[in-house]
Amino acid sequence: MPSQLAILYLVSLLMDMSVAGLFFAISRRAAELGASAGALGLLGSAWLGPYLIVSLLAGRLSDRWGRRNVALIGPVITGAITIACAYTTAVKPLLLLTTCFGLGLGFFWPSIMAWVSDGVTGRALQTRLTRFGVAWNVGLFLGFGLTGWVFRRWPLLAFGIPALCMIVILLLLLLPAKAPADRPLTAPPAQPPAGRGFRKTAWLANFAVQLATGGVAAIFPQLATHLGIASDAHGGLLAIGRIAALVMILVLQALTFWRARLWPIWAAQLLGVVAIIGVGGTSSAGFFVAAFIVMGALTGYSYQASIFFTLDEMTEKGKGSGVHEAFLAGGMLTGPLLGGWAGNHFGIRAPYFFCAAALLMGVGVQAAVAGWRRREYVQRQ
């Protein structure tokens, strides 16, 4: 009988491989059809509104109805939408279909995250979340890397592979499996100082990072086609970013100081600001590679910090996963929309400077919230 955790890691890999592949194929098809920056921004973000709402609901439902029952809804909806997208060649119908796609993901991810974290905390939780993070980042890497290559040669197959993955996910979730046997619960080696607002800071950082990097990813197809970057090279840039995120997640597993200090996550975001400005100001392939590495590592850090502090502190794992994903989705929704607006009004390079400024403002908000939480805690003592 297979291990339940192994199944959860595998379906996480397959789901994000499918999501990356589908959205790359949709955005690239739209860009080649002449979609504007605003239309690309909508395609990259329309699904996130439903996803945000359903995540908050589905996380709580999984606490009551069971993880499997809620998670199974996900691949049913997303599989059907993926097949429909394969035969759609107009931007407006694609926009409608991707909006519905977010409903399925909203049922899937909070349930899976809560399922992975059930029964553990501290070091054991961090180990599970690291393996989970590696799984979904490998999925994104494969999705971006393979789809760019496949799309250039067989555009329809770029949609067929994600649809097949959804069927496999559904079957895997239905398999009987044995529960994990973890070591006794242990506290993390470095505990966040009380009253410093680590969880709220991580939520805000995740929001700001996803806003900035999501805006870049959604609008970049227009710049890539303008500069003559082929679809496989474009997909390779996104895949490199996922490798960087994966490496960062492994580094965070080995280190512990980031669990007790806030300055590293702020410093990482400032480095991200520099990288995004560079994307907007250069046409150098080498700098694009470096910038996507930095942005990928930053998303890995902010995501892992947010999910760890959430699931380590909150007893209602489904509810916590839903809130974590809501902040994630909020950033991913806002970035493409505002980036698309900036591109339509101020030119093809404007979205990158806009996203960099938004990330810089996000760091300021996080610092202000952390300072407020610390003062509030001191006053209560």
Q: What is the 3-state secondary structure (H, E, C) of the chain?
A: CCEHHHHHHHHHHHHHHHHHHHHHHHHHHHHHCCCCHHHHHHHHHCCHHHHHHHHHHHHHHHHHHCHHHHHCHHHHHHHHHHHHHHCCCCHHHHHHHHHHHHHHHHHHHHHHHHHHHCCCCHHHHHHHHHHHHHHHHHHHHHHHHHHHHHHHHCCCHHHHHHHHHHHHHHHHHHCCCECCCCCCCCCCCCCCCCCCCHHHHHHHHHHHHHHHHHHHHHHHHHHHHHHCCCHHHHHHHHHHHHHHHHHHHHHHHHCCHHHCCCHHHHHHHHHHHHHHHHHHHCCCHHHHHHHHHHHHHHHHHHHHHHHHHHHHHCCCHHHHHHHHHHHHHHHHHHHHHHHHHHHHHHCCCHHHHHHHHHHHHHHHHHHHHHHHHHHHHHHHC
| Cα distance between residue 377 and residue 16, in whole Å | 39
pLDDT tens by residue, 197-239: 788 899 999 999 999 998 898 888 888 888 888 877 887 888 8
What average pLDDT is seen over the chain?
Answer: 86
| Residue ranges of domains in the chain | 4-176+188-380
Residue of higher predicted confidence among 148 and 284? 284
pLDDT tens by residue, 190-202: 555 554 578 889 9
pLDDT tens by residue, 121-158: 778 888 999 999 899 888 888 887 787 777 777 767 78
What's the confidence (pLDDT) of residue 316? 86
What's the confidence (pLDDT) of residue 185? 45
pLDDT over threshold 50, residue 184: no
pLDDT tens by residue, 46-74: 888 899 999 999 999 999 998 999 999 99
What's the confidence (pLDDT) of residue 21? 86
pLDDT over threshold 80, residue 379: no
Considering only CA atoms, give the Rg of the chain.
Answer: 20
Q: Give the least confident one: 91-95, 100-104, 183-187.
A: 183-187
Report whether CATH 3.90.650.10 matches the domain 4-176+188-380: no
